[in-house]
Amino acid sequence: MKSQKITVAGGGVLGTQIGLMCAYAGKDVTFWLRSESSIGRTQPKIERYSNLMLEDLAKAKALVGSPMGAFVYPKGLIRDWKSATAESIDALIETAKKNFAEHVHIELDLAKAVADADIVIESMTENPEAKIGMYNALKDVMPEKTLLFTNSSTMLPSTFQSYTGRPEKYCAVHFANTIWKNNTAEIMGHAGTSEETFKAAVAFADEINMIPLELHKEQPGYILNSMLVPFLSAAQALWANGVADVPTIDKTWELATGAPAGPFKILDIVGLETAYNINQMKPDAQVEGSLTNRLGKLLKEKIDKGETGVNAGKGFYDYTK
Ligand SMILES: NC(=O)c1ccc[n+]([C@@H]2O[C@H](COP(=O)([O-])OP(=O)(O)OC[C@H]3O[C@@H](n4cnc5c(N)ncnc54)[C@H](O)[C@@H]3O)[C@@H](O)[C@H]2O)c1
């Protein structure tokens, strides 16, 4: 049986996108938020992301029939690109508008928010105490049937399973930012996740137009960040050691591998603050003269100038021109 009622705990950047993606795919979605002031912060995000999804659908009409279309169409919004037409995309836009208007709810009362939920997706601040507090509160009010997924990027489900009251129904389903375009769902259980739950997570991801990527065991950073973080660190080390400049490092990667973006273009998308925070977590970050320490200073210099990446208009590259 398909999971139809989805509750998203946390109305931040990712929580909002996940909820809208579920509604887009025809699920009934409730955002559970902490307070009236949270509504004031989440409502504009709901509007912003739903508008972006609708705009990307409208833009996709111009891509129908173009050779580039298959590479750049919003994969989470259009399941079958090969048979897409301007008319079929118009129909998707109309359905999306209806779904966003009718199937997105906000609820401050946690018990009410999860009363009939098939799935609760926890997408709260990456703070273990906040997540534990959430699980403790949830376990007393979730119906027996409810599956519980976490979208945590850096923490493992085994860390929290004992607080959920339903370890066998708990696993990680990790989405990517701009979910409607980057439609991956990394699915990772802990040792006590039941096979049934894991399969349900895979099926759910598919139902909301994600590509399910199954992990067979727990791995900090899942699949993507296990590769991406060392790759970006290697590029930053080349820069901090003065081996080559930023455009040359990017060009080398792009020309040699055919990748559309080199590491510093990716860092501009990720944001330099995130790169800095990851760097500062390394044990030698405070060791004067160490590579990590020097890199931290270089990143901080750019951050202090407001050059934090694409969102700021400037990072390693200038996006204002
Ligand atoms: N931002 C990304 O690119 C990204 C990508 C994949 C996964 N994630 C994961 O998604 C989760 C949320 O990240 P985000 O970027 O949306 O963060 P965010 O800061 O935009 O949103 C966090 C939300 O949690 C709520 N919150 C914080 N403390 C709370 C509490 N004690 N009780 C209830 N609600 C509380 C906030 O009000 C906010 O709505 C994190 O686990 C993160 O690792 C983020």
Task: Report phi then psi at 73, rounded to 5.
Answer: -65, 155
Centre of ligand 1 from the C-alpha of residue 131, in Å: 10
Give the residue, out of 7, 14, 108, 120, with the most ligand 1 atoms within 8 A of its beta carbon, to mutate for a pocket test. 14
Question: Can you tell me which atom of ligand 1 is nearest the CA of 34?
Answer: 33
Centre of ligand 1 from the C-alpha of residue 87, in Å: 37
Angstrom CA distances, 223 to 105, 134, 220, 226, 301, stand at: 33, 26, 9, 5, 31
Q: Give 237-247 pLDDT, tens digit per residue.
A: 999 999 999 99
Q: Which residues line ligand 1 (CB under 6 A)?
A: 10-15, 34, 38, 123-126, 130, 133-134, 151-153, 174-175, 177
pLDDT at 68: 85
d(CA 153, CA 15): 13
pLDDT at 1: 66
Return the residue whose CA atom lies nearest to atom 28 of ligand 1.
125
d(CA 245, CA 93): 44
Centre of ligand 1 from the C-alpha of residue 254, in Å: 32
d(CA 240, CA 242): 5
pLDDT at 274: 86
* CATH class of the 5-214 domain in this structure: alpha beta
CB atoms within 10 A of CB 83: 8
Angstrom CA distances, 144 to 114, 119, 168, 200, stand at: 11, 11, 12, 15
Centre of ligand 1 from the C-alpha of residue 101, in Å: 24
Architecture of the structural domain at 225-312: Orthogonal Bundle (1.10)
Centre of ligand 1 from the C-alpha of residue 15, in Å: 7
Q: What is residue 130's three-state secondary structure?
A: helix
Task: Output the pTM of the full model.
Answer: 0.89
pLDDT at 147: 98
Return the residue whose CA atom lies nearest to atom 35 of ligand 1.
124
What is the enclosing helix (H) or strand (E) of 185?
A: strand 184-189
Return the residue whose CA atom lies nearest to atom 8 of ligand 1.
153
Give the residue, out of 13, 210, 222, with the most ligand 1 atoms within 8 A of its beta carbon, to mutate for a pocket test. 13
Q: Break the chain into its structural domains and give their ranges.
A: 5-214, 225-312
Residue spans of the chain under pLDDT 70: 1
Question: Can you tell me which atom of ligand 1 is nearest the CA of 124?
Answer: 24
Centre of ligand 1 from the C-alpha of residue 11, in Å: 7
Centre of ligand 1 from the C-alpha of residue 276, in Å: 19
Same fold, 5-214 and 225-312: no
